[in-house]
Structure 1
């Protein structure tokens, strides 16, 4: 079986590469997709539409352009992994989890125990909560087994 997995969430650590490498090492047939993880490029996604009058409108414009990619890739995925990191609040990741929930798209959350309480509703609808990238790879191994 082949799977497409969308990797959502924080962009400040190499968790995406750890999962991709783990899947390769396990010989899993997985295609990974993700949002644009270059922070400056993501912030500038809507700049081709003109210079807005304020930072709010620049963010608004760019978020709508980014949503084209995000929504399309989430809709095309078989599973979404939503990573919440320690350093920043990933409101976009919470939104992606909610979007998955609305679509009936399975998702796995990936975060530490220290933020279980603020993510209780997000985790409640997830198919699994993982604390390590190795656990995510093991979930993929199980789901894709013959």
Structure 2
């Protein structure tokens, strides 16, 4: 089975690379997509729409431009992996999980045990909760190699 997997959430660690490389090393037939992970580029996504003196409106424009890519990616994926890290609050990741749930798109959350209580509703709609990229790779291997 070929899968299209959307990688959402935390951008300050290499979890995406670990999953992509792990699946590549196993020869899994998976196409990955993601939001823009370069923080400065993401923040500047709306700059072409005109300069803003108020940072709120700059962020607002950029969020809307970024939402085009995210919405398309979620709607066209078979499965989303949604990562929550400890250092920052990933409100966007929580929104992505809610959007997946509303669309009936399966998703897997990826976070450590310290976030279980805070993410109980998000995890409640997920098809799985993983604590490491290795666990995600194992699930993806199972999904793509079982007849």
TM-score range, shorter chain: over 0.9
CA distance in 1, matches of 2:25, 2:104: 30
2:142 counterpart residue number: 142
Provide TM-score, normalisation by structure 1.
Answer: 0.98
Q: 1:10 and 1:103 mapped to 2: Cα distance?
A: 22
- Is residue 130 from structure 1 mapped to residue 130 from structure 2 by the alignment? yes
Structure 1 runs of 4+ aligned residues shifted over 6 Å read none
* Equivalent residue number for residue 49 of structure 1: 49
Deviation at 1:52, TM superposition (A): 2.1
Unaligned ranges ≥5, structure 2: none
Shift of 1:51: 1.1
Tell me how far apart the structure 1 counterparts of residues 70 and 94 of structure 2 sit (CA, whole Å): 13
Q: Count residues in correspondence.
A: 146
Partners of 2:132 and 2:115 in 1: CA distance: 14
Give the Cα–Cα distance (whole angstroms) in 2 for the partners of residues 12 and 34 of structure 1.
14
Q: TM-score, normalised by structure 2?
A: 0.97
TM-align CA RMSD: 0.7
* Displacement of 1:67: 0.2
Q: Partners in 2 of 1:61 and 1:17 — Cα distance?
A: 28
